[in-house]
Amino acid sequence: MSTNETDKPGQAVAHAHHVYAVASGFGLRVIPLAPPYAFTLGPDPAQLDVERNTAAGDLFARLTPTGGGYTSKTAEDVPSLYDVVDVTAGPPFDRWWIETTAYRVPLPSEWQAVAGGAVDPCVFDLIGPDGALMFVQVGNTIPAPDALVGPGQRIVNGGRDARSSWVELRYQHEGEEWAQRHDIVEAGPRCLLLTIQARSAAFAACSSAHRLVLEGLAASGKSTGADC
């Protein structure tokens, strides 16, 4: 990485493509210029790495908050930070969150928030180690957990606690057993459906990231989503 810029957040500029998920934290809001793009925590959890995919290649930048401003570094072949993201004033969260118009979640370490530009069935995916995956869907009705069981899946556990109603499943995929869990979080008139899936052997290792996202998941803005 080459460029090292020190700056303060400015005003958002008009984008050629709509961006449905942004990163917010430490008084900053980071808005990629266009999808597809990905957010990852840097070596220091206060740092944010952003990668934007373009026809000419991948563009990389790293932001480090600095008490009301930030420093940035970009890859050698990236002319400027502003070829990757805009940075504006944002909420004073003490960690990085991924925000949409309908909800926000904390970004776990070693997981990548990947946004391809679509909104259906979800705005972005959280991709973890060994192919693990988490995503959120937004709906206007609250389903029964057993209504979320798909063909070839079997229920191995389930229940309801202070945070969610949930069901845990097992199923076969390409000769391996996979685990999947759905958490239904009531958020006023809507529901937020958090799904995590991973190979069964690796499912327990995802528990801390899942707990962080589940406990942090919060509604915001308005939704036009279909039923969960």
CATH number of 152's domain:
3.40.1000.10
- Do 88 and 134 fall into the same domain? no
Domain boundary among 92, 115, 138: 115
- Do 108 and 134 fall into the same domain? no
| CA dist., res. 41 & res. 130, Å (int) | 18
Residue 203 phi, psi dihedral angles, 5° rounding: -65, -45
Domain boundary among 52, 87, 115: 115
- Do 13 and 103 fall into the same domain? yes
- Do 153 and 99 fall into the same domain? no
Q: What is the pLDDT along the chain (228 residues), one digit of tens a residue?
A: 555 566 777 655 444 456 799 999 999 999 999 999 999 999 999 999 999 999 889 999 999 999 889 999 999 999 999 999 999 999 999 999 999 999 999 999 999 999 998 888 899 999 999 999 999 999 888 788 889 999 999 999 999 999 999 999 999 999 999 999 999 998 877 799 999 999 999 999 999 999 999 999 998 854 333 344
Q: Which residue has the tokens 């600095």?
A: 66
- Do 157 and 135 fall into the same domain? yes
- Do 206 and 136 fall into the same domain? yes
Domain-located, residue 123 = no
Domain boundary among 94, 115, 136: 115
Domain-located, residue 151 = yes
Domain-located, residue 92 = yes
Domain-located, residue 120 = no
Specify the number of domains making up the chain.
Answer: 2
Domain hosting 149: range is 128-219
- Do 77 and 140 fall into the same domain? no
- Do 92 and 19 fall into the same domain? yes
Q: Are 39 and 26 in contact (CB under 8 A)?
A: no
- Do 81 and 171 fall into the same domain? no
Amino acid at 187: A
- Token pair of 107, please? 């970004």
- Token pair of 12, please? 């958002």
Domain-located, residue 43 = yes
H or E stretch including 187?
strand 176-187
Dihedral of the alpha carbons of 108, 10, 37, 47, in degrees to the nearest 10? -30
| CA dist., res. 201 & res. 178, Å (int) | 8
Coil vs helix vs strand at 58: strand
- Do 25 and 87 fall into the same domain? yes
- Do 25 and 108 fall into the same domain? yes
Domain-located, residue 59 = yes
pTM for this predicted structure: 0.90
Q: Which residue has the tokens 């308005």?
A: 222
N- to C-terminal Cα separation, the chain: 42
Domain-located, residue 189 = yes
Domain-located, residue 224 = no
- Do 92 and 136 fall into the same domain? no
Write down the pLDDT at residue 228.
Answer: 42
| Closest among 114, 101, 88 to 218, alpha carbons compared | 101
